[in-house]
Structure 1
Amino acid sequence: MAKQTKKAKALEIKLGENLKQYPVDEAITLLRDLKSAKFDETIEVAMNLGVDPRHADQMVRGMVSLPSGTGKTVRVAVFAKGDKAQEALDAGADKVGAEDLMEDMQAGNLDYDRVIATPDMMGVVGRLGKVLGPKGLMPNPKLGTVTPNVSQAVKDAKGGQIEFRVEKQGIIHAGIGKMSFSDTDLKTNFDAFVDAIVKAKPAGAKGKYVRKITLSSSMGPGLKIDTTEVAGA
């Protein structure tokens, strides 16, 4: 067995082997106290849900806008023509195009966090299914990324809107801000994210829906959150 470092021992002692469940405010404070990285770490939340996403009626997926933003620069590509293309550019889209953008993506230029399209462009976008699909970038009307209102979609993406989707093991996770955010901003984002997941509870979910919530930082430990604080859990 590898020898435990002094830092690891200190963490284990301080966290009481991580058996405790923390109020969100206390968990945020403790993560700051344990910060060791020199970069601005991301604060992440993970939720274990009582769902089996292999069944269509137990899939949890959607969008949520984090009120305090993500602290991340979001690159957005938009498939649009004419006035809609100009609207997307005016709203701050990083790349706007049609067939030319499709060819660019087919060539491997996929450095984007969100891809948006107007409905009339889906014939073009559809040819990118094998390219965008595996990266989770395929525009989807249910997620608001296929829309005639490209200006608002771009602003939402740039302003802190994130996508969530449950994984095979029933786990859903996301970054909700940076260590440099204030406690209030992190708590506001945490509440918005968890509330969105609770409201997205699928009809097929059985038993306890929110089974566990963990808050962590990029280089820090995972702290279990007291789920009794979460309404509807």
Structure 2
Amino acid sequence: MARGKQYQTASGKIDAEKSYDLGEAIALAKEAAFAKFDESIDIAIKLGVNPKHADQMVRGSVSLPNGTGKDVKVLVFCKGEKQKEALDAGADFAGDDELIAKVQGGWTAFDKVVATPDMMVQVGKLGRVLGPRGLMPNPKVGTVTPDVAKVVKELKAGMIEFRVDKVGIIHTTVGKKSFENDKLDQNIRALLDTLIKMKPSSAKGQYVRGIALSATMGPGVKVDHHKLVNEL
């Protein structure tokens, strides 16, 4: 795959064969970011699981201590008093039948979706719209709940969802290039700590098998995952 001059220049700052301490990796990922906008800092974590087995599907959520740096628009499907609770907690949109019809029509001007349990039969009809975008509410990640206010606040503060892909890798965002290094460090450790606690009992051998950081447009930086896991 052909890469532009800026990417090649950025790659020259990184030893592709070396695994760096987390602090060094964060600094390098930021240094190698060349876009004019405030790029996200993304992480890829290779896990020793086989997602084809249901009991090894690693999926959940974690509240990053320093947030993601993104303005997250939250939609809540709920009825009655729950709508006021959701809006008071910071939800951008809250409603039931009318909102469902709007989404069925193709409207997707939101980043996260929460639903109360009693709304899930109706929300299930939105699978074709929400499913491909990864927005379908799910009790496993806490987005199907009667306590909508709590979840809305967590999402606004930086709660992220994660799900292992078909080859056993977790991909997610842990902050912005403009974040101080120690804040990115704290976010990464919080995510990794959560993943380790979720290790499936049926997963055999080494669990965390690789970690890489990168800015949105930048090259990847390998992290010394053995050292990092031992520090947690």
What's the CA shift for 1:32? Answer: 2.7
- Amino acid paired to 1:28: I
Distance in 2 (CA, whole Å) between partners of 1:164 and 1:15 is 27
Match of 2:225 in 1: 227
2:202 to 201, 204, 213: 204
Match of 2:131 in 1: 133
What's the CA shift for 1:9? Answer: 5.7
The worse-fitting range, judged by mean Cα deviation, of 36-45 and 121-130 is 121-130
Distance in 1 (CA, whole Å) between partners of 2:215 and 2:123 is 36
Residue 102 (1) aligns with residue 100 (2):
yes
Q: RMSD of the alignment, in Å?
A: 2.0
TM-score normalised over the length of structure 1: 0.92
Once superposed, which parts of structure 1, at least 4 consecutive aligned residues long, lie more than 6 Å away?
1-4
What's the CA shift for 1:131? Answer: 2.4
SS at match of 1:19: coil
Distance in 2 (CA, whole Å) between partners of 1:46 and 1:2 is 22
Residues 7 and 84 of structure 1, relative CA distance in 2, 3 Å threshold: closer
- 5+ residue gaps, structure 1, are none
Match of 1:11 in 2: 11
- 5+ residue gaps, structure 2, are none
Matches within 5 A, 1:87-126: 87-126=85-124
Distance in 2 (CA, whole Å) between partners of 1:135 and 1:198 is 26
Residues 100 and 211 of structure 1, relative CA distance in 2, 3 Å threshold: same
TM-score normalised over the length of structure 2: 0.93
Residue 21 (1) aligns with residue 22 (2):
no
Distance in 1 (CA, whole Å) between partners of 2:147 and 2:204 is 37
Distance in 2 (CA, whole Å) between partners of 1:148 and 1:4 is 49
User: How many residues are treated as equivalent by the alignment?
Assistant: 231
- Amino acid paired to 2:216: S
Distance in 2 (CA, whole Å) between partners of 1:204 and 1:190 is 25
Match of 2:35 in 1: 37
Distance in 1 (CA, whole Å) between partners of 2:35 and 2:124 is 42
Match of 2:54 in 1: 56
What's the CA shift for 1:136? Answer: 1.7
